[in-house]
Chain A
Amino acid sequence: MTSHAKAGYDRAVQDFTDAFRLAFGLVISLDADLVEIVSLSLRVSLIAVFIACLIGLPLGARLAVARFRGRGAVLVVVNALMGLPPVVVGLLVYLHLSRSGPLGSFGLLYTPTAMIIAQTILIAPIITALSRQIIEDLHEEYAEQFRSLGLTRSETTRALLRDGRRALVTVALAGFGRAIAEVGAVIIVGGNIDHLTRVMTTAIALETSKGDLPLALALGLILLVLALAVNALAMTLRRPDA
């Protein structure tokens, strides 16, 4: 390495180390901006997961238990929706919520509500498809016994949701993991507005492009820890239900 290149390299390491030190400082001092961004992220994604579960769990259970014409087609659609690109969801929600769109009069564009809607649409298919699989496996095991006992369909569904609950929590965690790490949809419908719709992922994208590494790094660290925690929780829950 030439001395010139060496100096450049040292400077980069120095910058990076400084950025890390500042980032840790932000986390430890519970910097106001940082806390605001993290709590908005959590709020938006948790609400989105909650709504997606309200839609996806009953739907998944019903798809698992019911046999009707066109069920196969519905399953194909749900599975395809699992792979929806976030930016496309963002675009579609944008078109609906924008002032000239069908829901424009509600004035939801660039609000946390718009972000919740986008994330819900993104993860509801995931929750539906994964819970369908889990409940269908369990139903295979229980079906004859339940029919022997003369259970109604709603009693069957309720019992399946209850006995599969542990595995279903991991489904919700998977949905949360996808929601909180997603950037494409929320940046389109939220607009990354400071103090209003700025969440972790959009802030990281912006701060990095501005060169403000400490805040980006601090948020990145928190996101990383969150992702690890969610995964660890899912792992411990993945033990089969008793």
Chain B
Amino acid sequence: MSAGVTTHGLAFDAGGNRRVGPLDLDLPATGITVLMGPNGAGKSLLLRLLHGLITPTAGQIKISTDRQAMVFQKPVMLRRSVAENLIFVLKRRHPRAEVEGRCRNILREIDLEARAGQPARALSGGEQQRLALARALATEPELLFLDEPTASLDPASTLAIEATVMRAAAEGTKVVLVTHDTGQARRVAGDVVFLHKGMVCEHSLAADFFDSPVSEQARAYLDGRIVL
């Protein structure tokens, strides 16, 4: 049911510059891996590479499942109603008769029932992120990439999203989550990958990472100093 992620010499160049890599990653097949690092470190790029949206310049990626989903840093809302954004993916997986009921259940869970008929693009940023996560989960992925899924959420919604993500992980979905929120990383991470200028500075269990980060870059980042 779960999906390990390994890479060998994974690298991506653009405009003659190395953006990411070479990376040799070995992510555990279960639980939540948190990807951290300063702006421009290459976190979003790495998720896109792993998810297969862009082709690496060099190296290999080994992932044991095709059942993947991703929530983008800027969620993509179809120009349809809130409900139709869910129905779009639900009807690819489920018999027609079940779709509407499932859609209603999801809307209730994410507290967007009252907005079901409104255009999804009229939702607030945080509501869009909630909907995008629910839509990704509706595809029942074995591997889920989340790019800053709570970046514009209020504290309560952040905790609600974390609970959803942790439940999915507990039910067997492997999650790779990017966040700048150290508190969130502490709450959800099993292991942490710290990325800096496209390179992995550190990959350790969450407890170790937060208690005694090895790399100077990670220590500086956690202290809120500018990492160069």
List chain A positions with a Cβ less than 8 A from chain B: 138, 141-142, 144-145, 147-150, 159, 163-164, 240-242
Given contacts A149-B89, A163-B80, 20 further A-B contacts (CB under 8 A): A138-B79, A142-B78, A145-B72, A145-B76, A145-B78, A147-B52, A147-B53, A148-B53, A148-B69, A149-B92, A149-B139, A150-B66, A159-B78, A159-B88, A163-B79, A164-B79, A240-B79, A241-B79, A242-B80, A242-B122
| B78 / chain A contacts, CB cutoff of 8 Å | 142, 145, 159, 163
Chain B 76-96 per-residue mask, 1 if CB under 8 angstroms from chain A, else 0: 101111000000110010000
B219 on interface, CB distance cutoff 8 Å:
no
Chain A binding surface, main DSSP class: helix
| B19 / chain A contacts, CB cutoff of 8 Å | none
| B53 / chain A contacts, CB cutoff of 8 Å | 144, 147-148
Question: A148, B119: Cβ atoms under 8 Å?
Answer: no
User: B79 is contacted by which of A147, A149, A150, A242 (Cβ under 8 Å)?
Assistant: A242
| A145 / chain B contacts, CB cutoff of 8 Å | 72, 76, 78
Given the interface pairs A148-B51, A159-B88, the reply to whether A141 lies near B122 with Cβ below 8 Å is no
B180 on interface, CB distance cutoff 8 Å:
no
CA distance A147 to B48 in the complex (A): 11
- How many chain B residues touch A (CB < 8 A): the figure is 21
Look across to chain B and name the residue whose beta carbon is closest to the beta carbon of A166: B79
| B66 / chain A contacts, CB cutoff of 8 Å | 150
Chain B 35-70 per-residue mask, 1 if CB under 8 angstroms from chain A, else 0: 000000000000010011100000000000010111
| A148 / chain B contacts, CB cutoff of 8 Å | 51, 53, 68-70
| B70 / chain A contacts, CB cutoff of 8 Å | 148
B189 to chain A, nearest CB (A): 23
Look across to chain B and name the residue whose beta carbon is closest to the beta carbon of A164: B79
B186 on interface, CB distance cutoff 8 Å:
no
